[in-house]
């Protein structure tokens, strides 16, 4: 059985960092036009800019739905972003990062095995 998220698993990290990947999926799948702050400096600077701008583009939710943002911490980065995906009764995050050759779909309850901790789920303000 094909799931919509499979379409994005072939996208190479070298073509899109995590925020650019989320922007692409939002636009392509959900029709949401959003651009994360981009930093010419370090990933830490970009992470701080994303965190500072969050109240203007999303709000925390305890009932995430497909397409909501998953904010994670880990791997020495202040934040890492992905897209919430539910397949059947299981929750996943669709994301990409430098150690991945392509985008990945990881079960949320197994993210700690990949060095991530979920900070929260956020729905997009439209």
Query: For the residues 98-113, what does the mean pLDDT come to?
Result: 90
Query: For the residues 95-110, what does the mean pLDDT come to?
Result: 89
Is residue 31 situated within a structural domain? yes
Query: Number of folded domains in the chain?
Result: 1
Is residue 8 situated within a structural domain? no
Coil, helix or strand at residue 36: coil
Tens-digit pLDDT profile for residues 40-83: 666 677 777 777 788 788 999 999 999 999 999 876 656 788 99
Is residue 117 situated within a structural domain? yes
**CATH number for the domain including 42?**
3.90.1720.10
Is residue 80 situated within a structural domain? yes
Range of the domain at 29: 15-124
Q: Quote the CA–CA distance of 124 and 110 in Å, as a whole number.
A: 24
């Amino acid at each position: 059985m094909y799931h919509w998220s499979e379409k994005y698993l072939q996208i190479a990290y070298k073509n899109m960092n995590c925020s650019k990947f989320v922007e692409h999926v939002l636009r392509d799948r959900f029709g949401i036009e959003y651009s994360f702050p981009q930093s010419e400096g370090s990933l830490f600077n970009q992470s701080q800019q994303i965190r500072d701008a969050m109240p203007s583009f999303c709000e925390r939710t305890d009932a995430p739905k497909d397409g909501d943002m998953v904010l994670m911490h880990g791997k020495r980065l202040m934040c890492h972003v992905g897209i919430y995906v539910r397949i059947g009764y299981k929750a996943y995050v669709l994301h990409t990062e430098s150690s991945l050759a392509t985008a990945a779909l990881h079960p949320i309850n197994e993210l700690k095995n990949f060095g991530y901790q979920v900070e929260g789920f956020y729905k997009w303000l439209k």
